[in-house]
Amino acid sequence: MANKDKRWWKIALCVIGLLMIAGAITYTLITRMADSAAVSSAGNPATAAGVVNTPASDGVGELTWVTSLSSKYDTNSYIFVVFPGNDELTGKVDQAVKTAVEKIRQGGTAIDAITLSSLDPEFQASLDRLAIQKLPAVLLLAPTRQGTIIKGDITETKLLQAYLSLQGTCVPGVSGCCPK
């Protein structure tokens, strides 16, 4: 009986933690939208925080490559956007993205990947608005324009964790509220 009581306690703590996170995210989104509207109305470009789970429309929503993604969402639930760096690192990132896409597709989710050209006139603006300072980087976008940026050492595991996190799925060792 004592073991069952401990299990319910852990579940209750997880639910409370999730509610606190949802409240914080909601508050952040509401204040960002208000701040973004205020900044846009002042004539300045809106900038994104560039961390995990940020609405892409805060910083890059009006860029051509982002608006062109809307047709891809007819057949995909998520899209990985690769911001290339040097050829060697970008090759490793491309392979990690390809492997992650294959695994996600095996689970029944429609997902695609694109690589932006560093020659695109909007490339630098995208990096600035998403606060990406080190390349390569990967942006995972959902149709809701919620996104997760993966920077630094980009691995298949990190890409899959970002996908699960963006879905709202508990990721052991990442989200901190998963039952043990």
Query: Which amino acid is present at 63?
Result: L
Q: Residue 5: which pLDDT band, with cuts at 50, 70 and 90?
A: low
Residue 125 CB contacts under 8 Å (≥ 6 apart), including other chains: 60, 63
* Distance of alpha carbon 82 from the chain centroid: 12
Which tens digit of pLDDT belongs to each residue from 129-153?
A: 888 889 999 999 887 778 889 988 8
**CATH number for region 47-167:** 3.40.30.10
Which tens digit of pLDDT belongs to each residue from 108-124?
A: 999 999 999 989 888 99
* CA end-to-end span of the chain: 18
pLDDT at 40: 34
Res 47 pLDDT > 50: no
Please state whether beta strands 146-150 and 54-55 pair in parallel, antiparallel, or not at all (unpaired): antiparallel
Res 37 pLDDT > 60: no
Domain boundaries, the chain: 1-44, 47-167
CB-facing half-sphere around the CA of 145: CA atoms within 13 A: 16
Q: Model-level pTM greater than 0.85? A: no
Closest CA to 84 of 32, 137, 123: 137
Strands (E), the chain: 54-55, 78-83, 111-115, 137-141, 146-150
CA 79 to CA 74: how far, in whole Å?
Answer: 12
Q: Residue 46: which pLDDT band, with cuts at 50, 70 and 90?
A: very low
